[in-house]
Amino acid sequence: MIDKTVSDAQAALAGLADGMTLMLGGFGLCGIPENAIQEILRLGVKDLTCVSNNAGVDDFGIGLLLQKRQVRKMISSYVGENAEFERQLLAGELEVELIPQGTLAERCRAGGAGIPAFFTPAGYGTEVGVGKESREFNGKMYLLETGLTADFALVKAWKGDTAGNLIYKGTARNFNPMMATAGKITVAEVEELVPAGELDPNQIHTPGIFVQRIFQGKDYEKRIEQRTVTV
């Protein structure tokens, strides 16, 4: 069995260059590839197109890349927690494609499955549908949406093995599984890395066939985006 382990984020992101398209898993700040994002910051690559459910917050997650002006375009669903994102958008400094959340998930899944396009009713008759082909099916209007792929898909899992099989924990099983299938190079960072054969095959969420590089991350902050408490 092929050992896909690399030593760290620096080795995992070898070949990352200006102008590439990246998929970054996570929902809010849950399940984001923290170590990979720090390495992108260190590399200083620019003109990136980032596909992510959200844009992090001002001082964490993808928000750090926005602060350093490394992102040219965001393809996202929810961006309401990032003031710097808003500023760059309104100033015309950042290209943004906002997509309904379900459509974004399906576009990633479709890209990973080799499906070039599909029809969905979400967004028809709104700004989301401007410039897109539409068609009627059974008396209802649908928009044509294209599948998404990326040069690098960066995902975060709870546990993985040296063959690249991944298990996500809780809410971290959000955009990570479908994005893992849609990268030309998929990099997985995991909290715990075990030898191949130690994971229960029935519990694996992402098969190792989709992962090219895997490493054990460190120093996870796991910040909470919106803390809700009772009095």
pLDDT digits (tens, 9 = 90+) for 171-211: 889 999 999 999 999 999 999 999 999 999 999 999 999 99
| Strand-pair category, 150-161 with 166-167 | antiparallel
pLDDT above 80: residue 75: yes
pLDDT above 90: residue 231: no
pLDDT digits (tens, 9 = 90+) for 202-214: 999 999 999 999 9
| 231 vs 222: CA distance, rounded Å | 24
- pLDDT score, position 230: 81
Residue whose tokens read 């599909």: 118
226: pLDDT confidence band, cut at 50, 70 and 90? confident
Mean pLDDT of the chain: 94
- pLDDT score, position 197: 94
- pLDDT score, position 56: 87
Mean per-residue pLDDT for 29-50?
96
- pLDDT score, position 227: 76
Mean per-residue pLDDT for 98-125?
96
Is the full-model pTM beyond 0.85?
A: yes
Residue-wise DSSP of the chain = ----B-SSHHHHTTT--TT-EEEE--BTTBT--HHHHHHHHHHT--SEEEE-SB--BTTBTHHHHHHTT-EEEEEESB-TT-HHHHHHHHTT-SEEEE--HHHHHHHHHHHHHT--EEEE-TTTTSGGGTT--EEEETTEEEEEEE---EEEEEEEEEEEETT--EE--GGGSSSHHHHHTSEEEEEEEEEEEE-TT-S-GGG-SB-GGG-SEEEE--------SS-----
| Strand-pair category, 21-24 with 48-51 | parallel
Q: Which fold has domain 9-216?
A: Glutaconate Coenzyme A-transferase (3.40.1080)
